Copies of this chain bind each other. A is one copy, B any other.
């Protein structure tokens, strides 16, 4: 698989970039080869720092700055005999000569280093849109320890309000950090939802948590400029809707782009998006140059699409693979699932595999089921709901999963990520044997339950309707049947819905059939389970029936504008 050099020929290795992927490569290289010269060149002041911990340091959860610095050049010399040079920037590569020119940023001197193998782990850099005022000192990005230092200094100096631009992972983590520090926070997101890494109906649950923590969430809203303040704050942020918001600090979290100027100048093959193109053994278009981490193009495991996935896990594994390949070992990086997780106050949101939105865009036929099981047995104290969306192909192959909730979200997504890597089907998921005792799960784990639901959809036991059908089911062409209890029904229901609790359905079937008057019946309950039971009864009675996928919980998340009425008088109320 690898087209690596013979390991014994590689005596001089230069690694450009000393964080996740680069440092993983360097450490593994030393373990594979005790005698090679391994030089790690890092432009910044730190190597091997905990970049994923930066927001928690800003927020104060990680109080000790030193704990972010996992290694130093000295410790890496002592334990792994690595020659690590910080504040050393590689300014050019001469591929023919196999040399790099490295600049000592402190001394201002240049040196030429020869290599047998070169590893590019140049990472990615925050995108700063070309807008007025983003060069002001209050406008920051968060990518390294000095960035965190600056943000902490701004907060320590008395910043009272913040605007966070971008509701992706780093944006949300920084929102949380700023709220922990007591700032008023406005969150801008150009997309119509927060957390575009998950589907909108799941992201709505995260947005609700943000609002519950007094974050002023502005979706479908862009940043236009940062200007002098008219309000007494440090600056004013001008929004795409014309509003001006005062802020003492502005955090740009609108994404990153691969840092590949060096690779581009050296003539290495880049993707249209500017990422370094590599083989499965992390080799670039030059057989003496490898590349890993946020700087490279990867392949999506499900869709096969090429793109950039800046995540720490793949970066670290790619570093290890590159080291093995350089030393002539037969290895291959796998396509990327994009498994990711974020904690936002009391909720956790996680995903593996592509979203339904991305699959639709890629033309991949798929189905989605939603469910809301407890994280563990309901009779054991402290159970919390996990909101789960599972995506699968018509042949039953798992394509992805998303979860939002509290405890146990990470576990279920990791199970799905493992199953996805194994190309399991929903039949396989139904048979998973997961660890069960009341504090940890249920005899039928949420993963099993999701699989049962998917099986039912695929084999025709269950026909579902969803938010996409809302407008058509409200036009009078179907009977809306709400099978919750009368008490639940009174708290809010779809307009015109007939309430027959599922426990009374068999006795009142004639009443339902009369109300349907030959029309199809569209059933709902709170979460989708009771409506499934009702659907089976109705189907057996010969009715064209469908059950609301995920129940009203999912519908209201997917369509916050859904008309919900409080009683038979049908006054509309806002969905909460």
By a beta-carbon cutoff of 8 Å, the part of chain A in contact with chain B is 20, 24, 30-35, 50, 52-53, 56, 61-62, 67-68, 70, 75, 78-81, 169, 173, 311-317, 320, 329, 333-334, 336-343, 348, 350, 352, 377, 379-381, 410-411, 413-415, 417-419, 421-422, 424, 428, 430-441, 443-445, 448, 452, 459, 461, 502-504, 506, 530, 532-533, 536-537, 539-541
Residues of B within 8 A of A506 (CB): 81
Instruction: Assess whether A313 is in contact with B436, with CB atoms less than 8 Å apart.
Output: yes
Instruction: Assess whether B311 is in contact with A31, with CB atoms less than 8 Å apart.
Output: no
Query: How many copies of this chain sit in the oligomeric assembly?
Result: 2
5 closest Cβ contacts across the A-B interface?
A34-B540, A422-B422, A78-B503, A341-B435, A312-B443
Rounded to whole Å, the gap between the CB of A69 and the closest CB of chain B is 9
Instruction: Assess whether A438 is in contact with B313, with CB atoms less than 8 Å apart.
Output: no
Instruction: Assess whether A439 is in contact with B62, with CB atoms less than 8 Å apart.
Output: no
Rounded to whole Å, the gap between the CB of A483 and the closest CB of chain B is 10
Partner of A334, one of B316, B424, B431: B431
A332 nearest CB neighbor, chain B only = B431
Contacts A80-B533, A317-B448, A444-B316 given: A435-B417 contact, CB under 8 Å?
yes
Instruction: Assess whether B422 is in contact with A53, with CB atoms less than 8 Å apart.
Output: no
A55 nearest CB neighbor, chain B only = B438
Residues of B within 8 A of A418 (CB): 415, 418-419, 422, 424, 432, 434
Contacts A313-B445, A334-B431, A414-B435 given: A62-B422 contact, CB under 8 Å?
no
Instruction: Assess whether A53 is in contact with B435, with CB atoms less than 8 Å apart.
Output: no
Rounded to whole Å, the gap between the CB of A139 and the closest CB of chain B is 25
Instruction: Assess whether B435 is in contact with A339, with CB atoms less than 8 Å apart.
Output: yes
Rounded to whole Å, the gap between the CB of A515 and the closest CB of chain B is 20
Most B CB atoms within 10 A — which of A315, A341, A436? A436
CA distance A338 to B461 in the complex (A): 30
Instruction: Assess whether A317 is in contact with B417, with CB atoms less than 8 Å apart.
Output: no
CA distance A50 to B381 in the complex (A): 13
Instruction: Assess whether A20 is in contact with B56, with CB atoms less than 8 Å apart.
Output: no
Instruction: Assess whether A34 is in contact with B438, with CB atoms less than 8 Å apart.
Output: no
Rounded to whole Å, the gap between the CB of A8 and the closest CB of chain B is 13
CA distance A448 to B434 in the complex (A): 19
Contacts A381-B61, A433-B352 given: A438-B78 contact, CB under 8 Å?
no
Q: List 24 A-B contacts (CB under 8 A).
A: A33-B540, A34-B539, A50-B377, A50-B379, A50-B438, A52-B443, A53-B438, A56-B438, A62-B379, A67-B379, A313-B434, A313-B436, A313-B444, A313-B445, A315-B443, A317-B430, A320-B452, A334-B431, A334-B433, A337-B433, A339-B435, A340-B437, A352-B435, A422-B428
Partner of A419, one of B34, B422, B461: B422
Partner of A53, one of B81, B377, B433, B448: B377
Contacts A52-B377, A433-B421, A434-B417 given: A341-B440 contact, CB under 8 Å?
yes
Residues of B within 8 A of A24 (CB): 444
Most B CB atoms within 10 A — which of A173, A334, A343, A434? A434
Rounded to whole Å, the gap between the CB of A403 and the closest CB of chain B is 9
A452 nearest CB neighbor, chain B only = B320
CA distance A67 to B381 in the complex (A): 10
Residues of B within 8 A of A411 (CB): 410-411, 414
CA distance A503 to B77 in the complex (A): 8
Instruction: Assess whether B380 is in contact with A433, with CB atoms less than 8 Å apart.
Output: no
Rounded to whole Å, the gap between the CB of A258 and the closest CB of chain B is 19
Contacts A50-B377, A70-B379, A443-B316 given: A421-B432 contact, CB under 8 Å?
yes
CA distance A156 to B230 in the complex (A): 70
Rounded to whole Å, the gap between the CB of A353 and the closest CB of chain B is 10
Contacts A410-B411, A419-B418, A431-B317 given: A437-B341 contact, CB under 8 Å?
yes
Instruction: Assess whether A68 is in contact with B316, with CB atoms less than 8 Å apart.
Output: no
Rounded to whole Å, the gap between the CB of A10 and the closest CB of chain B is 15
Instruction: Assess whether B52 is in contact with A437, with CB atoms less than 8 Å apart.
Output: yes
CA distance A438 to B81 in the complex (A): 28
Rounded to whole Å, the gap between the CB of A284 and the closest CB of chain B is 21
A50 nearest CB neighbor, chain B only = B379
Rounded to whole Å, the gap between the CB of A80 and the closest CB of chain B is 7
Known pairs A52-B437, A317-B444 / 20 extra A-B pairs, C-beta < 8 Å: A34-B537, A34-B540, A56-B438, A62-B380, A62-B381, A78-B504, A79-B502, A79-B503, A311-B436, A314-B433, A315-B443, A339-B435, A340-B435, A342-B437, A343-B440, A348-B440, A411-B414, A413-B435, A418-B422, A418-B432
A439 nearest CB neighbor, chain B only = B343
Residues of B within 8 A of A173 (CB): 437
